[in-house]
Structure 1
């Protein structure tokens, strides 16, 4: 490593650490419901609560994020943060999970009354990782028991029978393989079982299922990653079958790259980088205005999603993780160049230097579209995960 590269990496590290402090302070200051438990997630630019609805994906994600930081960064290893995380976990157990069928609500009132439930698995996924990391933070076995029980239900729903999710079987809409449901178990098994060899063995079939399902999304001789394919791994007809989500593909890439390294599966490394990171990034980058498009059509047609050309925060977070990880594992300069390209855009457009926290939604031209810092789909998760992982990787590279 030459001196210029070292100085560049040290600058990234300093900025990541200071930005994580700012983001952490924004959410610690504004999001806690000390009266009823859980977290306010609908926060305006200045942190004021504009809606007391508690979206349960984000409740679970915030518990996980606090615990991950508590467990890994000394400055955040405090009783304050641990107690906040525990209160969030107890809110999840008391109000979000239905003990009769382990389905979790998508949204509840401030006091925990159910508002909405989805017929998907993602509230449950984030409930599971919250419990797994809370168990490590507290040493309390009840949280690990909760995590395992939820993972068992998730495994049943995706590998055996999903009828209890409540989705009707309609003859014109056969089952499909979505990238979201396929790739997430690569990281879920890692989150639950990385420090437990018995659990890793138990969920190895789920991990392999997830890998197989994920690989089916590489289509057209490896040129594209499609968001939805048939359960046999074939391209679907119509606009649904042509949808590409570059950020989602890139996120899948770093899941796979991390898996390849930890499980000694070198055959997956090149696939992770070339198929899931580089090609979607080069296709998804807006060469006119910069930033990563949200959706694209594999045939170059106009996507049907109205927000297709917006620039959202989380694909950029995932790209920062992915390309820094690719650079760490290969030391190839092009991946550091891609990282810098995304970094420059992200720091310029998403960071709010005045109030802290990050914006989530930009127009094609990079203008802030919605100035809130938290909403039904954006909470305390992608930004702190990105900054934390970049800090850890930068320290590793600089060693």
Structure 2
């Protein structure tokens, strides 16, 4: 692949990142109550004022990461927005667990910060941790870092020791499940909390990181021919639709998480597994041969998935695919991985960006037509698009700096 091609990709990606940041800076800030609006229509108009805690945390994290690591985003307005978002989270996101139980984070807040909904999962807390830790890095506030680490201990307890304090009693028919989202998220947090903090931090979370990797590897099923989203705690296939479910985007995201670990540890076997099983397999299974793009869900036995949106093309799996293939190529320099990146790039950039109003559409039909034209909602915020563009730009910088 020529340097000219890499330059073209980097230029387009850089432009899209700038446009995406401008869109959210312009339309998402609540200057009255703090925090961010995420339910934003095509033209930037807010269509719902509810605030989703995991998206608040993601936006704080993304602003801080851009501010801290990319010179052109080292701007006062980005730092102030991140600090205002962090203040809103610290003031309103944490809610009492009740009956003397541990603090939880709400899932959804009203515009002025009143808790509206609490989920019996750990994901709001996880993105709160990411936000506080990254914000502590740009502000130097050690209390925020300590707060992130304390909440991390609570999340570890919920996941590895006792989930019942989440308010989820085990029902008679329930089969304990290893859902890939949980170890993936914890591995992401380990990488967040240990980055640049030396051997002591690495040792503190070393056991957890190894556990996360092993939990993710359990999802390699069918004699190594498929990645399944849910398995038993022992790593066996589960019966029914739940057990047959494939989520190509999640598998690809897990793939680049594992590639980051393999790169840090110089683990060639883990690198091969990450690429062959978590990057190549979900692409081969998940790519729509007729219309292009990645399916959202699949059934490993070819049944119609029960998720109504299974055949839609969503923004975030394509973001994860771009990161995964470019990272895999960056580590191995195998041409076929860059060819895969090129194919995903061509589909993604010809379908998702909105040239008229900015940012990206998130939800396409199987044929690639815009199904929902809003730019943000309860699940799409300032995260997957800018994280993908940010990471890809940096990887292309590395490739071009070291190209012949």
> TM-score scaled by structure 2?
0.97
State the SS of the aligned residue for 1:50.
Answer: strand
Using the alignment, how far apart are the partners of 1:377 and 1:280 within structure 2? 22
Q: Provide Cα deviations, 1:301-335, integer angstroms capped at 9, x if missing partner.
A: 11111100000000000000000001111111111
1:182 partnered with 2:183: yes
Q: How far 1:255 sits from its partner (Å)? A: 0.3
* Alpha-carbon shift at residue 99 of structure 1 (Å): 5.8
Deviation at residue 137 of structure 1 after TM alignment: 0.9
Deviation digits for residues 239-264 of structure 1 (CA, Å, limit 9, x no counterpart):
11000000100000000001100122
| Residue number in structure 1 paired with 2:255 | 253
| Matching residue within 231, 234, 247 for 2:233 | 231
Report the Cα distance in structure 2 between the residues aligned to 1:279 and 1:228, rounded to whole angstroms. Answer: 16
SS at match of 2:2: helix
Question: Among 361, 365, 368, which residue is 1:366 paired with?
Answer: 368
* 2: CA distance, partners of 1:281 / 1:46: 33
Aligned-residue CA RMSD (Å) = 0.9
Counterpart-to-counterpart distance in 1, 2:122 and 2:290: 37
**Matched residue, 2:151:** 150
Contact 1:291 1:342 survives alignment (8 Å): yes
Question: Is structure 2 residue 202 aligned with structure 1 residue 205?
Answer: no
2:279 aligned partner = 277
Secondary structure at 2:105 match in 1: coil
**Matches of 1:74 and 1:203 in 2, distance apart?**
30
1:5, 1:337 → 2: CA distance?
A: 12
- Return the offset for 1:35: 0.6
TM-superposed CA distance for 1:378, in Å, is: 0.3
Normalised to the residue count of structure 1, the TM-score between the two structures is 0.98
Partner of 2:335: 333
Aligned equivalents of 2:313 and 2:130: distance in 1? 27
Which residue is equivalent to 1:69?
66
Shift of 1:232: 0.7
Matched, 1:14 2:11: yes
Q: Is the 8 A contact 2:252 2:279 kept in 1?
A: yes
Could you tell me which runs of 5 or more consecutive residues in structure 1 were left unpaired when the two chains were aligned: none
- Corresponding position of 1:131: 132
Does structure 1 conserve the Cα–Cα contact (< 8 Å) formed by 2:95 and 2:115?
no
Question: Is the 8 Å Cα contact of residues 259 and 271 (structure 2) preserved in structure 1?
Answer: yes
Query: In the alignment, which residue of structure 1 is the partner of 2:57?
Result: 60
Q: Following the alignment from structure 1 to structure 2, what is the Cα–Cα distance between the partners of residues 157 and 266? A: 32
Note if contact 2:227-2:278 (Cα within 8 Å) is conserved in structure 1: yes
Specify the alignment match of 2:115 in structure 1.
114
Please state whether the residue corresponding to 1:369 is helix, strand or coil: strand
2:30 counterpart of 1:33: yes
Shift, 1:36, TM fit: 0.3
Q: Tell me, which stretches of 5 or more residues in structure 2 are unaligned?
A: none
1:186–1:259 CA contact under 8 A, matched in 2: no
1:179-214 Cα shifts (integer Å, max 9, x gaps): 001222222100111111322211111111111111
Alignment of 1:80-119 (within 5 A): 80-98=77-95, 101-119=102-120
Work out which of the residue numbers 45, 49, 52 in structure 2 matches 1:48. 45
Distance 2:260 2:4 in 1: 26
Deviations 1:286-310 (A, max 9, x none): 0000000000001011111110000
Q: Distance in 2 between matches of 1:72 and 1:194?
A: 13
Distance in 2 separating the partners of 1:186 and 1:256: 9
Aligned residues: 396
In the alignment, which residue of structure 1 is the partner of 2:349?
Answer: 347
Deviations 1:165-188 (Å, cap 9, x if unpaired)?
111210101211000012222221
| In structure 1, distance between residues paired with 2:77 and 2:23 | 15
Cα drift, residue 98 of structure 1: 2.3
